[in-house]
Amino acid sequence: MPVKTKVIKIGNSRGVRIPKALIEEANLGDEVELEVKGGKLLITPASGPRAGWDEDFKRMAEAGEDKLLWPYFPNEWDEEEWEW
């Protein structure tokens, strides 16, 4: 069910107050991502860096797409023992 709210001025920007029930239903935390799609403002929970990488890596391994694209080329650095 749509909820009507006012767009308020916040400094040079504008904002809306989102009711607690909608925040909980949408699983919004302290950070969100904003995106315009089809003339509508979409607010979604912020995803962290590398979110979804585990699933992507598993899918790539199952499809055999997790191989090196460039063959291994040894060089002079590989022949010497390194000192730290």
Identify whether 51 is part of a domain: yes
Q: Which domain holds residue 54?
A: 7-72
pLDDT by position in tens, the chain (length 84): 788 999 999 999 999 999 999 999 999 999 999 999 999 999 999 887 888 899 999 999 999 988 877 777 777 777 777 777
Query: What's the number of domains the chain is made of?
Result: 1
- What are the angstrom distances between the C-alpha of 35 and each of 39, 44, 57? 10, 8, 27
Identify whether 1 is part of a domain: no
59: domain CATH number is 2.10.260.10
- Residue 73's pLDDT is what? 73
User: Phi then psi for 57, rounded to 5 degrees?
Assistant: -65, -40
- Residue 47's pLDDT is what? 82
- Residue 79's pLDDT is what? 73
Identify whether 78 is part of a domain: no
